[in-house]
Chain A
Amino acid sequence: MSASLATLVYAFIGLPLIAIVLLNLPNRKFAEKLCIGTGLFVCIVQMATAVIAVLLLIEFNKASMSFSQFWDMHVADDAAYFSVDFLSAVCLFCIGMVGAVSFAAAGSTVRDKILNYTNMMMVLLLGMNGIALVTDLFSVYVFLEISGIASFLLIALYRDPVGLEGAFKYLVMSAIASAFILLGSGLLFLEFGSLRFVVLEEMLQAGVYNNPPLVWLALFFLVAGFAIKSGNMPFHGWLPDAQTGAPSPVSIMLSGIVEQMSGTYATMRLIDIFLLNKFTVVNIGMMLLALLSIVLGAIAAVGQTDFKRTLAYSSISQIGYIVLGISCGTVLGYVGAVLHFFNHSTFKSTLFANAAAVKNQLHSTHYDDLGGLQKQMPIAAATSVIAGLSTAGLPPFAGFWSKLLIIIAVWQTQGAFVASVALLASIFTLAYFLRIQHKVFFGPEKQRPAVKEPKDGIAIASIALSVVTIGFGILFPVLLLALQTQGVL
């Protein structure tokens, strides 16, 4: 058992580190040839390992597996250790998947800086894997910072004005968010003396506090911090700029996974600790933020003039759905949120991959320059339609299931009004999706030199993701039943 667990650590934490070391040993020219291969290898291994982890979990019938690498965790009581449970496994799988797509897209878009890109991506992967694996709040902060720094550098990869602008805005707001998270952790540390999840859970379940206002204050700062990190509506300022300014594969990575890992994953963990129904104010606060994000994000997306910016606002809207699911406080909402997490990484990565293809060929993502690309880029058009329909929540695509679960959960707990608003926002979702399709792919053609479909990695990645979307959509009930019978949920 510990042997296989050790492999897990190697795969998630060690592998990126090793990759960085190995890549930088040879000279630049040689290393550049290896980069994409290495990146893809790491990501695919990560995906495989995540699946193996789930299977191990099911087989050994455990809720989670804990392991440590450099010290024996049973010796020191307060030692930090890693743990994989079902939620972590899903997130790790998503990270791997989006990373693979990003590397596939990187082949044609950031070819000239591929070594820098790969290095930073490895750090980013390391950081995000860490967030998924750790079991105490401070380590979350550490890995959060690691992935943050990596993403700033990635966004500013080309040192172009928009990239720098996006990176700076992201940096400032991310730093504030980290400050708040730390503030909250500090107050919790003050109150409880430890930041480990299990200890916090025990203490909060006991419900005996020395200083109740401190706990509330801590909760407040934690919720605020993670809300800024994930890009909920009043705190969303950095999100569209960062994603628009970033190079294409970085956008894929950012929207597909970074926002979610930093923000919503941690919120899910927090909800695990803070015991879904005990702190209703948290639920209500998150629900209001979520509603605001969903509705305003969608409406703002309708009025945009840039392809990537529209997709960024769409991310805001979809992350709102995830937070809405979490805020319900029921298992159904939780499951819906996790599912939407997965679906969001899938369809958003597809859409950003399409944007990457478009930008690669046309060097612009502004609607004025695009239009009628369907004839020349059929794969991009088709996959974007599939991804868009999944975003809007149409059956038989995967997005339908996750939205359904979330709305049902909301209906049960938060009332019909909230659920109806969330449902009606789907109309806006469809509106901006159709606008994208019309402006970019299916509208009237413009006079421009002929472009061709990038037939390489991007196309393959888009097609693979679309297959996942459709397959997941069709197979979801089967999956759900299987998982339930295995007792994993």
Chain B
Amino acid sequence: MLQPIASLLTMGSGMNLLYLLIVVPLLLSLLCLILPRTQETLKGLLFLLSIFFNLVLSLGLFVAQDTTVLIPWAGFGMNLAIRVYAFSRFAILAAGCAFFLVGLYSLCFIKGKSYQGGFICFYLLLMSFANGVFLANNLVMLLFFWEAIMLVVFGMLLLIKRPKPRTAVKAIILNAIADFLLLLGIAITYSLSGSLMMDVISGLPVEGAGVVGFLCMMLGAVGKAGAVPFHSWIPDAADDAPLPFMAILPGVLEKLLGIYLLFRVCVDFYALQPGSVMSQLVMWIGALTLFFGIAMALIQNDIKRMLAFSAVGQVGYMVLGIGTALPVGIVGAVFHMLNHAMYKSSLFLAAGAVEKATGTTDLRKIGGLGRRMPITGCSFLLAGFAFVGFPGFNAFFSKDLIFDAALQTNVIFYIIALLGVFGTAASFLKVMHAAFFGPLRLPQGIQREEVREVPLCMLLPMFILAAGCLLFGLFNRLPLGVIQPLLGERLAGVEYAGWPHSMLLVLISIVCLLLAVGNHILAYRYTGSALKSVDHFRYIPGVRQLYDAAEKHYLDPYNLFLSLVKIYALVCSCFDRMINWIYDVLLVKMVSFLATNFHDFSDGSTNRYLVWTFSGLGFLAVLFLLLI
């Protein structure tokens, strides 16, 4: 059934159809922009049409052959080049499904909200540009779409009107720095390899200029993915942005884009060697992100913020995995990327359901919603199992692969990863317990009867995603069969599907999970509230100072950057004032001094004039004598 679509897409002269993946959502989004505010239904229909169309095309693409299409554009090797190969197909399909499901959800979620039109427009733009990134075969084209996504993120963050667009500015600055590093990296890569075509560049050595190039591109990629130090806008966005945005962007798209590029950089463009300095660096970035994200997630009291921080943390796993440069780690990271997309978006969608029903996701205000919203609770639980890495769910397998790789590199990373498991489980248990179990607590002004299950169009996507997690876990041959060929010959024929190799690792993971459960039960008994179940970690001396600093935003790299900028601005303003002084004060005083003196000098006496005349004459005579 899909074959006709596939062949349509990859026909020789049908290259235009490949561009449809980019062009159609773009045009539809512009159309939605132009349509007046009153045409809600029309916009909704167009939106639905677009995401469905995108899904169909992605499916068709999935079974198509590998193709490359080239349209020369500007000179210097900048072409509009599209390549359909294993990873792009996989990524586009994953993105397409996510866009479809979250899109269905958003239609219901944003109904009646003020930002409905803008959200639709930006969402479609996001879809178009994401397709563009995955399809791009030319580094410049990739960069173009990458930056376009940054602008759309900015737009989305401005949707809910705030007095000061703090988060939007923060997001754009952090992303801009990452994008600039990416640009630098692309330039260096271009000079090293002589080409801008992504299927040509391969195996550049990571030494000399290559180090800088690799570093820049890597930082650019992880910056988009949301690793430390580019992470600080994501938790703020959890408060400021509409929830479907959180579901699609930090949940799905960023990881897809970031890890896609990171994969290309580490595996295709540069030959990252396991155990090399760069590999260690990447792994440390991953480990740091992991630790920081999970640690911050532990102490959050708001579902969205917890999910946002843990999204930051999970990226750490992916970066760690790719950083090991071992096939097992890379496969694990890419698989984790897919899994994370599924379970995180499902979790966010459930949080959104809670928000729609009660108006907030702050756990200090609400609680015990399990009775009133059972399906949401179930879905949250299911996705949560995947989240913590319960055996049988997809994340369990991907995490195991990553543990394997980490252990092979250095035991420290393994320990940090295990701590991550513990922290994830603890934070999830806390949130799950507080939100869905226990007595019902509602914020002011909401009556018990108003809280009921959300409509089907919102329930279905979150449930499908959660179920998908279970499915991909039990039948992990399915996704792994797509991911493994990405590595090509590096895989050396090893098969990662099925139950993990080392029972020891599995055992240790299960022990970690049990420890987390135990900690939660104990703490619950001790403090009487689910929310306080991890508070004892907060007050460990040593860790407490870190938490306090983080709360006060000292550890926020963005704030550090801002203070640097302030110093620079001060220097510049001093310089500017000096120049102003020269022009406004010095010059004026000089001229008026001369003018006044001249004024006093010519006092109107004829004799004086004659004296001037004769002295001028003398001067002229001297000149003549000198120069004859």
Contact present between A and B (CB < 8 A): yes
* Listed A/B pairs (10) with beta-carbon separation below 8 Å: A169-B609, A224-B620, A234-B616, A235-B613, A237-B609, A238-B609, A284-B623, A299-B595, A303-B598, A428-B591
Is A189 an interface position by the 8 A CB rule? Answer: no
What 9 A-B pairs have minimum CB-CB distances, sorted nearest first? A237-B609, A303-B595, A234-B616, A281-B627, A300-B598, A302-B595, A299-B594, A303-B599, A235-B613
Taking chain B's interface residues, is the majority helix, strand, or loop, or is none over half, making it mixed? helix
- Chain A residues with CB below 8 A from B592, complex form: 302-303
Chain B residue with Cβ nearest A233: B616
Q: Answer whether A220 and B599 are a contact pair too, CB < 8 Å, given A237-B613, A302-B592.
A: no
Q: Answer whether A284 and B627 are a contact pair too, CB < 8 Å, given A169-B609, A303-B595.
A: yes
Is B550 an interface position by the 8 A CB rule? Answer: no
Is A146 an interface position by the 8 A CB rule? Answer: no
Q: Answer whether A300 and B599 are a contact pair too, CB < 8 Å, given A169-B606, A235-B612.
A: yes
1/0 contact string of B593-604 vs chain A (CB within 8 Å): 011101100101
How many residues from A make CB contacts under 8 Å with B? 35
- The answer for the CA separation of A219 and B616 in the assembled complex, in Å, is 15
- Residues A222-237 near B (CB distance < 8 A): 223-224, 227-228, 233-237
- Chain A residues with CB below 8 A from B628, complex form: 216, 281
Is B586 an interface position by the 8 A CB rule? Answer: no
Neighbour of A172 across the interface among B591, B606, B627, CB < 8 A: B606
- The answer for the CA separation of A216 and B623 in the assembled complex, in Å, is 12
How many residues from B make CB contacts under 8 Å with A? 25
Neighbour of B606 across the interface among A168, A219, A224, A228, CB < 8 A: A168
- The answer for the CA separation of A480 and B156 in the assembled complex, in Å, is 60
Q: Is the CB of A176 within 8 A of B606?
A: no
Question: Which among A168, A281, A288, A289 has the highest number of chain B CB atoms within 10 Å?
Answer: A281
Q: Is the CB of A234 within 8 A of B612?
A: yes
Q: How far is the CB of B297 from chain A (nearest CB, A)?
A: 64
Q: Is the CB of A300 within 8 A of B620?
A: no
Neighbour of B613 across the interface among A173, A223, A241, CB < 8 A: A173
Is B568 an interface position by the 8 A CB rule? Answer: no
Is A296 an interface position by the 8 A CB rule? Answer: yes
Q: Is the CB of A223 within 8 A of B620?
A: yes
1/0 contact string of A159-176 vs chain B (CB within 8 Å): 000000100110011001
- Chain A residues with CB below 8 A from B608, complex form: 237
Q: How far is the CB of A66 from chain B (nearest CB, A)?
A: 34
- Chain B residues with CB below 8 A from A168, complex form: 606
Question: Which among B612, B616, B619, B628 has the highest number of chain A CB atoms within 10 Å?
Answer: B616
- Chain A residues with CB below 8 A from B594, complex form: 299, 303
1/0 contact string of B196-233 vs chain A (CB within 8 Å): 00000000000000000000000000000000000000
Chain B residue with Cβ nearest A240: B602
Q: Is the CB of B610 within 8 A of A220?
A: no
Is A139 an interface position by the 8 A CB rule? Answer: no
- The answer for the CA separation of A284 and B602 in the assembled complex, in Å, is 27
Q: How far is the CB of A22 from chain B (nearest CB, A)?
A: 39
- Chain A residues with CB below 8 A from B613, complex form: 173, 176, 228, 234-235, 237
Is A285 an interface position by the 8 A CB rule? Answer: yes
How many contacting A-B pairs (Cβ < 8 A)? 79
Q: How far is the CB of A236 from chain B (nearest CB, A)?
A: 8
Chain B residue with Cβ nearest A169: B606
Chain A residue with Cβ nearest B587: A427
Q: Is the CB of B596 within 8 A of A303?
A: yes
Q: Answer whether A173 and B609 are a contact pair too, CB < 8 Å, given A220-B620, A234-B619, A285-B620.
A: yes
Is B169 an interface position by the 8 A CB rule? Answer: no
Neighbour of A237 across the interface among B596, B612, B620, CB < 8 A: B612
Chain B residue with Cβ nearest A281: B627
Q: Is the CB of A285 within 8 A of B595?
A: no
- The answer for the CA separation of A241 and B591 in the assembled complex, in Å, is 23
Q: Is the CB of A216 within 8 A of B624?
A: yes
- The answer for the CA separation of A280 and B594 in the assembled complex, in Å, is 31
Is A17 an interface position by the 8 A CB rule? Answer: no
Is B615 an interface position by the 8 A CB rule? Answer: yes
- Chain B residues with CB below 8 A from A176, complex form: 610, 613
Q: How far is the CB of B627 from chain A (nearest CB, A)?
A: 4
Q: Is the CB of A172 within 8 A of B610?
A: yes
Q: Is the CB of A234 within 8 A of B615?
A: yes
- Chain B residues with CB below 8 A from A238, complex form: 609
- Residues B439-491 near A (CB distance < 8 A): none
- Chain B residues with CB below 8 A from A303, complex form: 592, 594-596, 598-599
Is A431 an interface position by the 8 A CB rule? Answer: yes
- The answer for the CA separation of A302 and B610 in the assembled complex, in Å, is 24
1/0 contact string of B161-200 vs chain A (CB within 8 Å): 0000000000000000000000000000000000000000
Q: How far is the CB of B601 from chain A (nearest CB, A)?
A: 9
Is A361 an interface position by the 8 A CB rule? Answer: no
1/0 contact string of B472-515 vs chain A (CB within 8 Å): 00000000000000000000000000000000000000000000
Q: How far is the CB of B265 from chain A (nearest CB, A)?
A: 52
Is A68 an interface position by the 8 A CB rule? Answer: no
Is A116 an interface position by the 8 A CB rule? Answer: no
Q: Is the CB of A300 within 8 A of B595?
A: yes
Q: How far is the CB of B605 from chain A (nearest CB, A)?
A: 9
Q: How far is the CB of A263 from chain B (nearest CB, A)?
A: 14
